[in-house]
Structure 1
Amino acid sequence: MMLLDFIFYAFIAVVIIQALFYIFFFTRFTFLKQEKKTLKNIDVSVIICAKNEAENLQNFLPSIINQNHPNFEIVLINDASNDNTLEIMEQFAGQHENIKIVNVKNNETFWGNKKYALTLGIKASKNEFLLFTDADCKPVSKYWIKNMTSHFSKRKQLVLGYGGYLKIKNSLLNKLIRFETLVTAMHYFSFAKLGIPYMGVGRNLAYTKTMFFKNNGFVDHMKVLSGDDDLFVNQIANKKNTSICFSKNGFTESIPKTTFKDWFKQKRRHVSTAKYYKLKHKILLTLIYSSQLLFWVLATILFITAHHWLIVLALFLFRIIIQYSIFRTPSKKLKENDLLLLLPFLEVFLIIIQLTIFINNLISKPNYWK
């Protein structure tokens, strides 16, 4: 009985921690209204790094080319592809004068390192303002460049955007992928509004060339194969220089993985960079994820044993209601509101996946970006 009492009080503490995070952290994004920015016509370099992406470039590059913006170049980086990626790039470049190709060959020192290829692309770009996306991404509107770059100012040199995934009907995996993306976005948008930005996604990210070179680019984490987006943001972002864009016309949409194995492999690579975050970010994120895990584990034990079950049920419902209340508005803002009905189920599934990935990454390290 003493053990169950301990679990009961631990559960109360976990519910309080979770409630505090939802109320004082995530409400920063929940109740935030997108500022109406004046769409600017600044010169922009859109940078896309591609490795074996011939088909995706063929399908999605036109959505970049057809952006409604007066002066932008597209820098296409062929990162040592072994398919016909380079040929597709050359075909588009032959039709559009604003396309520049950077052909990167394998380097013994930086073999398979996307950051090396990106650095060469950034050096080759002609404009101060850089906008990044992936070869398998497409902007959801022709005003993507205008919306993302409207957040640049003298102080704001880094813009965090939202990169969602294409919806696939009747696919549980697709819902899980989009839910994980929604949760991640809520985290990095909320943290940014709190003045402690910690990451961004390379599918939709913008910063200045001056900021990149002033901070020595990816030098501090060049040996880490992942993290050209989140580790760089974690390194240089602060309250003064960071802005967020969640205007619907500023979204990008990517092709999601269609097998659990491929998605698990992708997430292993993404999660592996978290250990390189700043200490304050690691502490906060660990507290968020561990309290989520403990909430479900402790609640399950207490329900099975029926220990103070009425109080446990009340606390359980209290936390679930807060979660739904906080998620409702962001899911609409980010066009993911179809996920709400499955919220508890998706959360449990995601927690199990994250724990499995954490254990796998302790045993072996992912050593690839493609």
Structure 2
Amino acid sequence: MLIYIFYSFIIIVFIQICYYLGIFGKFAFSRPQEIKPKNIPVSVIVCAKNEEENVKKYVPLLAEQDYPDFEIVLIDDASRDETLEIFEEFESKYSNIRLVKVENNEAFWGNKKYALTLGIKAAKKDFLLFTDADCYPASKDWITSMASQFTEEKTIILGYGGYEKVERSFLNKIIRFETVLTAVQYFSWAKLGLPYMGVGRNLAYKKEEFFNVNGFINHIQVRSGDDDLFINEAANKTNTTIAFAPQSFTYSRPKKTFKEWFTQKRRHISTAEHYKFFDKIQLGLFFCSQFFFFLIAIILLSFQFQWIAVLAILAARYTIVWTVIGFSAGKLKENDLKFWFPVVEIALILTQINIFITNIFSKPVYWK
């Protein structure tokens, strides 16, 4: 029996190496991205629901972007706090801010996609750039950097939305590592011509792409997925590219407790159930290869079966994976995660198993 387990271990490690070198290496070892300003007209779209504290701080950072032709579309999704009032103040202060007020609709109550649809229709520019109300751009050249990737063919741009670093917080390292790993995955598959998701914290597309797939109508019943389900449907090898220059990043504050982050990830993982078949298979295969890699390694070492060979395979796998993660983390300005990789990888896998089991027995909570 152990010999078959050992052969399974070799196959799983081979799958892991194929993922990391053959797929993720496309991003990890790519050249730095050049920014060639295009100055195309851009509508920055922000949808907020009960975000008064965040919009006070972050909307001015958007308004101060160094870009010649842009507007900001602020969408208040029936907030119960002072978000609308703050938006109205910004509208009177900045001439390029457009305000969209969303009232509760019985058919679409609490559905962010409905609010975003109204904002997209209100936008005056053809190129749309999205971020969340709790996000801020890494530089005044955020719009410039994201918009520079648009071409006549490339009309969907996938960006990186990171999280702030919190010193002496192991949870923060897990959150940021998961964010980096997710970005490496969707960036790499996009470079291979098989884009499958993006994040609403930093995403851009031409307005016609939205109407080409009838907006969110095909997944309007799914509360989440205004970013990844849209990309899963609309993106292809011809119309999609990535933006990973440091000026193009956005950041937001990470969750402070494990419970808050766990709830957030439950929503994200449940949305993946609605991806295309191939995308679900490749994501599932990657996760299974991670889980069984550790499980089988523990079994083989516990019985000291071919332990020298097992340790050699472990060393080879970690050398390859650590190299790919290291180069990727460097590109995304998350260099400190390189040193924590072996520990946070295991913590993340255990968390994902917990989320999967929890989601089987209860449904996650969505938009506020």
* TM-score for the superposition, normalised by structure 2: 0.99
**Partner residue, 1:70:** 68
1:119 is paired with a residue whose SS is helix
Look up the match of 2:360.
362
In structure 2, stretches of 5+ residues that fail to align are none
Runs of 4+ in 1 over 4 A off after TM superposition: none
Partner of 2:147: 149
Q: Deviations over 1:196-218 (max 9, x none)?
A: 00000000000011110121000
The answer to whether structure 1 residue 170 and structure 2 residue 168 are counterparts is yes
- Separation of aligned partners in 2, 1:69 and 1:341: 37
Q: What is the Cα deviation at residue 71 of structure 1?
A: 1.4
Deviation at 1:9, TM superposition (A): 1.4
TM superposition shift of 1:6 = 2.1
SS in 2 for 1:292: helix
* Stretch of structure 1 that moved more, 269-278 or 28-37: 28-37
1:10 positional shift? 1.1
Shift in Å at residue 106 of structure 1? 1.2
SS in structure 2 of the partner of residue 127 of structure 1: coil
* Residue identity opposite 2:12 in structure 1: V
What code does the residue aligned with 2:96 have?
Answer: N
Query: Residue 34 of structure 1 contacts residue 245 of structure 1 at CA under 8 Å; is this kept in 2?
Result: no
What SS does the corresponding residue of 2:14 show, helix, strand or coil?
Answer: helix
Q: Does the residue aligned with 2:108 lie in a helix, a strand or coil?
A: coil
Rounded to whole Å, the distance in 1 between the matches of 2:220 and 2:319 is 43
| Contact 2:33/2:244, CA 8 A, preserved across alignment | no
Deviation of 1:22 after TM superposition, in Å, equals 1.2
Residue matched to 1:336: 334
After superposition, the C-alpha distances for 1:150-187 in whole angstroms (9 at most, x for unaligned) are 11111111000000000010001111100000000000
For residue 351 of structure 2, the aligned residue among 350, 353, 368 is: 353
Q: Letter of the aligned partner of 2:178 in structure 1?
A: E
Equivalences for 1:299-318 in 2 at 5 Å?
299-318=297-316
Q: Tell me the secondary structure at the aligned position of residue 52 of structure 1.
A: coil
2:23 to 19, 22, 25: 25
Residue 285 in 1 paired to residue 287 in 2? no
Matches within 5 A, 1:23-102: 23-102=21-100
Unaligned 5+ segments in structure 1 are none
Name the residue aligned to 1:243: 241
| Corresponding residue of 1:7 | 5
Amino acid at match of 1:103: K
Give the equivalent residue in structure 2 for 1:161.
Answer: 159
1:108 corresponds to: 106
* In 2: Cα distance, 1:328 partner to 1:14 partner: 22
Shift of 1:37: 3.6
Deviation of 1:301 after TM superposition, in Å, equals 1.1
Identify the range of structure 1 (30-39 vs 350-359) with the bigger mean alpha-carbon deviation.
30-39
Q: Distance in 1 between matches of 2:303 and 2:18?
A: 27
> In the alignment, which residue of structure 2 is the partner of 1:204?
202
Contact preservation (8 Å) 2:129, 2:205 = yes
Is the Cα contact below 8 Å between 1:161 and 1:251 reproduced in 2? yes
Q: Secondary structure at the match of 1:273?
A: helix
CA distance in 1 between partners of 2:78 and 2:263 (Å): 21
Q: How many pairs does the alignment contain?
A: 368
- SS of the residue corresponding to residue 107 of structure 2 reads coil
SS in 1 for 2:149: coil
Contact kept? 2:127, 2:205, Cα under 8 Å: yes
Deviations 1:286-324 (A, max 9, x none): 111100000011111111121111111011111000111
Alpha-carbon contact 2:34-2:245 (below 8 Å) kept: no
Query: Which of 193, 196, 212 in structure 2 is aligned with 1:195?
Result: 193
Code of the aligned partner of 1:304 = S
Can you list the C-alpha shifts for 1:25-56, whole angstroms capped at 9, x where unaligned? 11100111134242111111000000110000
Equivalents in 2 of 1:304, 1:62: separation in Å?
57
Match of 1:6, as an amino acid?
Answer: Y
Match of 1:217 in 2: 215
Does the aligned pair in 1 maintain the 2:41–2:127 contact within 8 Å?
A: yes
Which residue does the alignment assign to 2:225?
Answer: 227
Alignment of 1:262-277 (within 5 A): 262-277=260-275
Does the Cα contact within 8 Å between 2:70 and 2:96 map onto a contact in 1? yes
1:258 CA drift (Å):
0.4
| Aligned-residue identity in percent | 56
Q: Provide TM-score, normalisation by structure 1.
A: 0.98
| 1:324-350 per-position Cα deviation (integer Å, ceiling 9, x unaligned) | 111111111101110111111111110
What is the CA-CA distance between 1:367 and the residue it aligns to?
3.6
